[in-house]
Chains A and B, each alone.
Chain A
């Protein structure tokens, strides 16, 4: 098998880096692999990916030792554009790559650069539009697309260029579970039928662990390549089925629900008891008959909801169901067209009654150090308290003196949440707080949210991360087409769903939400 991508003794340090971002890296990826890059946030995954097409070091500068070869070409000897016929890259922030205006033009851009024949371009564009279900969006301006749509367009644009190697950084972070499935299935088809090599970095292992056949574990710049099960075990990471497998001692550790179910038959579990979570307090916020528009369409249609103190409410639903709009209305930054929204019996004042951490968390960060970010919020409400308390709560106290721009995406998100939480508003709203969050960070976030609810606050998080909802929520509200189609405790609502069921539910049945819950119940 020929080698598609090879790292030979690569050490790389960023221009201002204190320590190497990649340290003595050895990787050999065979043609036709579907490989996963996994590791804690800030470990060097993005750097590794960007070294695959020469962006590191050609665009970043820094000191680079060793050799990266892509399809036989040395990345130091060729500028990234000379590798564009071989390798395509989809970054974490898909919107950052858009050059043109219309979706179909964006898809064709790569091929235009490569001088592909126009009739061939037309066919490729049509095929790629179908592959990623973008036909209805073909004439739209990319600037008017939602996050999930943008992500699919970015992937499509990379694919349309016809590379033999596709490198993706968290390509499903903004997609709902079904959307993520569709993308991964499309990628796998390309790998199996056309011999494409796919290298992707992902935190949500429950989504990808079953699809990949090779894995590269990254930690502190050091890298270990091997079969996914081994790499994940070595990192102590893995989807919930792997975690429970490790606890129970299943061998080989399952990576997919299917594999786990074979073992699950041998486990006897009592009837599930609902996880011990706080009861609900009095109503803190409510919406009645809420109708809200976003753009030309109605995002929310006659919604009725009561939110109680002490609740952690997960608002779920497919992309475009109205989750973000609901949060913005609760935060007091979006006027409803009809109906009423009340927080503490009054119209919500942003930053005082309700605080929202938006989907683009980076928009919140504009001070020079992490500590100043939190302090700014405290100062705004006349507090002179110690920002450290909030940084500690989110596990980022060690980053207090760092510039937010230098942090990884996951770290920035936690800092953003800290800045918002520091308002001490009783209603805490988070919009899709999962980009870049590795499992330990996610655990931290969950712990923080639960603690906040225990203190009498209300937490609402809009998410399509099923495992996060299963771990954190005391209540799940499912939205579709601007209406609530389900509202209840997680076990019931998630257990009932084919698409939104967490892995534990799929393996052990309704009522089982998290690995902790199952582990506790084991004999």
Chain B
């Protein structure tokens, strides 16, 4: 008799967890009330280097919206293509129109900063990424289809961008004093939760955290917290990775199992004899 409400509660809990936890872990640094969330936008056109500190109008925005905000606040000129999904022009460089690869092999490469000066090649388009308070987005114009071949932005942190004197109004300066805690808040929360679950693993880079997640028998909250903090596992470039092979193996097993069942069960299907 108890099974039903217990199952229902599990369901509701599971459904709410992903919604609740990112809100708990990801946002609101100590000084959010004073200055509001902000992120850094780094643009290397080849001819110009732009460092823009952008105030966010929501706890998280997409990479494209970050560019839009920069356009409003700092008069950055930009152009999107592929129905608003991809970035074609920044600061006057790049093709006009819907096709962002019209100038191929040159195009805008999209990088995500890890907060310590390192950069990770984004495997998702800017329309689908999440930029939160204290994040760093980088764009480099050049050629090279993957992170291994495309030019990277210089090593920078958000603090570098948002403390440097900039033409933007108030948010930049007070933000600097809170930038450090802001960037570390998600990490520390993740670390503390993780500490309770698996003390030996501390997420320090996206690649490590991927392995952390699969290795530890993590309770749901810790998985979710880590997910909120980083951008997921690194993109695969080159050929199919091990994950893909695992997927193919499982898929083949399922399909084969189903096919075998069909064959053995076929006779049962026809209508009973009259």
Contact = CB atoms under 8 A, between A and B. Distances in A.
Interface of A: 143-149, 293-297, 299, 319-320, 322-325, 359, 431-432
Interface residues of B, number: 8
B62 to A, nearest CB: 47
A320 B272 CA distance: 8
B273 A297 contact: yes
Find the residue from B267, B268, B270, B274 having the highest chain A CB count within 10 A.
B274
B271 A324 contact: no
B274 A295 contact: no
A148 B270 contact: no
A144 B273 contact: no
Contact of B268 (A148, A295, A299, A359): A295
A495 B267 CA distance: 38
Contacts, number: 39
A147 B274 CA distance: 6
A320 B274 contact: yes
Contacts of A147: 274
Contact of B274 (A293, A296, A359): A359
Contacts of A293: 267
B273 A149 contact: no
Contacts of A323: 274
Given A144-B272, A297-B273, 5 more contacts: A147-B274, A148-B274, A294-B270, A299-B273, A322-B273
Contacts of B267: 293, 295-296
Interface in B232-274: 267-274
Nearest to A143: B271
A295 B269 CA distance: 6
29 contacts: A144-B272, A145-B272, A146-B271, A146-B272, A146-B274, A147-B274, A148-B274, A149-B272, A293-B267, A294-B270, A294-B271, A294-B272, A294-B273, A295-B271, A295-B272, A295-B273, A296-B267, A296-B268, A297-B273, A299-B273, A319-B274, A320-B272, A320-B274, A322-B273, A324-B273, A324-B274, A325-B273, A431-B274, A432-B274
A301 to B, nearest CB: 12
A145 B270 CA distance: 10
Closest 3 CB pairs of A and B: A294-B273, A324-B274, A295-B270
Contact of A146 (B268, B269, B273): B273
A143 B272 CA distance: 9
Contacts of A294: 270-273
Contacts of B271: 143-144, 146, 294-295
A201 to B, nearest CB: 23
B1 to A, nearest CB: 16
Nearest to A299: B273
Nearest to B270: A295
Contacts of A322: 273
Interface of B: 267-274
Contact of A320 (B268, B269, B273): B273
A322 B273 CA distance: 7
Find the residue from A145, A295, A322, A432 having the highest chain B CB count within 10 A.
A295
Nearest to B267: A296
A331 B150 CA distance: 72
A149 B272 CA distance: 10
Contacts of A143: 271
A323 B274 CA distance: 8
Nearest to A320: B273
A106 B93 CA distance: 71
Contacts of B272: 144-146, 149, 294-295, 320
Contacts of A431: 274
Contacts of B269: 295
Contacts of A432: 274
B266 to A, nearest CB: 10
B57 to A, nearest CB: 54
Contacts of B274: 146-148, 319-320, 323-324, 359, 431-432
Contacts of A359: 274
Contacts of B268: 295-296
B262 to A, nearest CB: 15
A324 B269 CA distance: 18
Nearest to A432: B274
A323 B269 CA distance: 20
Nearest to B269: A295
A359 B272 CA distance: 14
Nearest to B268: A296
A7 B48 CA distance: 98
Nearest to A431: B274
Find the residue from B268, B270, B272, B273 having the highest chain A CB count within 10 A.
B273
A483 B267 CA distance: 21
A271 to B, nearest CB: 38
A519 B255 CA distance: 70
A248 B100 CA distance: 102
B96 to A, nearest CB: 61
A151 to B, nearest CB: 11
A117 B258 CA distance: 42
B263 to A, nearest CB: 14
B269 to A, nearest CB: 8
Find the residue from B268, B269, B272 having the highest chain A CB count within 10 A.
B272
B239 to A, nearest CB: 48
A297 B268 CA distance: 9
Contacts of A320: 272-274
A477 B271 CA distance: 24
B69 to A, nearest CB: 56
A428 B237 CA distance: 70
A431 B273 CA distance: 13
Contacts of B273: 146, 294-295, 297, 299, 320, 322, 324-325
A144 B269 CA distance: 8
A144 B274 CA distance: 10
B212 to A, nearest CB: 48
A355 B265 CA distance: 31
Contacts of B270: 294-295
A320 B274 CA distance: 5
A441 B274 CA distance: 24
Contacts of A325: 273
A149 B271 CA distance: 12
A295 B274 CA distance: 11
A486 to B, nearest CB: 20
A143 B274 CA distance: 12
A175 to B, nearest CB: 11
B125 to A, nearest CB: 47
A317 to B, nearest CB: 11
Find the residue from A146, A296, A320, A432 having the highest chain B CB count within 10 A.
A296
A327 to B, nearest CB: 10
A146 to B, nearest CB: 5
A66 to B, nearest CB: 41
Contacts of A148: 274
